[in-house]
């Protein structure tokens, strides 16, 4: 069942799609505090390495703290074991980190996606570390708007090129109706050919 998680404090629109040849993650760039726009150049979707990416909705400070710790743990694992961490392992690691601080939870929801020897995987995590694998997901205050676009057009055999067009369309739809979202769409595409980041302005 498609995942769609969102709470009022999770200002953002963040989406992820698993395609037949990779995964696509996207988020808009607006950082808001209450009814005030703090920045129009925020970044909420990141590459951990060449094959794992994360996307966030929620407080940017908590998202950055999660990103720093997860990135460090993945790098330490690769140095210690001389092998790449799988996408599922990275998602499970983050789940354990979030659950371990459940009494002082991070105000952020996360999508972890990537490509490894097991294929392409997409996982959704809430504030307390609940872990769900799915084909697509939408988080944040604009998530309900974005998921309606994705559910209507998603196909199991979509390529990452088609998936990229769909996530951009979904985030733009949310931007047009959600005041906490706006100012362009950051996209990360991860496939067996590699990973790349792109930016799409709001039309």
- Catalytic annotation, pick one of 13, 14, 110, 141: 13
| DSSP codes, 16-28 | EEEETTEEEEEEE
C-alpha span between 182 and 196 (Å, rounded): 22
In contact, 131 and 92? CB cutoff 8 Å:
yes
Which token pair is 71? 């990135």
- Integer-rounded Cα Rg, in Å, for the chain is 15
Report in angstroms the alpha-carbon separations of 174 from 118, 127, 158, 181: 32, 22, 21, 7
In contact, 66 and 108? CB cutoff 8 Å:
yes
| Residue 13 is a catalytic residue | yes
Question: Residues 63-70: contacts with CB within 8 Å, 24+ apart?
Answer: 63/106, 63/108, 63/110, 65/106, 66/94, 66/97, 66/98, 66/106, 66/108, 66/110, 69/97, 70/94, 70/97
Catalytic positions, please? 13
């Amino acid at each position: 069942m498609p995942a769609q998680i969102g709470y009022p404090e999770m200002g953002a629109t963040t989406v992820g799609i698993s395609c037949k040849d990779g995964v696509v993650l996207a988020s808009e760039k607006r950082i808001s505090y209450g009814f005030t726009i703090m920045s129009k150049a925020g970044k909420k979707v990141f590459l951990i390495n060449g094959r794992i990416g994360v996307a966030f909705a929620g407080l940017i400070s908590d998202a950055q703290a999660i990103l720093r710790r997860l990135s460090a743990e993945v790098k330490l694992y690769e140095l210690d074991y001389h092998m790449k961490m799988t996408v599922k392992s990275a998602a499970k690691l983050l789940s354990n980190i979030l659950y371990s601080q459940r009494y002082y939870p991070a105000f952020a929801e996360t999508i972890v996606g990537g490509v490894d020897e097991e294929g392409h995987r997409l996982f959704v995590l809430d504030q307390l570390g609940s872990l769900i694998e799915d084909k697509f997901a939408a988080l944040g205050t604009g998530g309900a708007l974005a998921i309606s676009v994705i559910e209507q057009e998603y196909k199991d055999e979509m390529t990452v090129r088609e998936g990229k067009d769909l996530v951009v369309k979904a985030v733009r739809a949310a931007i047009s109706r959600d005041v906490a979202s706006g100012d362009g769409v950051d996209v990360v595409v991860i496939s067996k050919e590699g990973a790349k980041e792109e930016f799409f302005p709001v039309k």
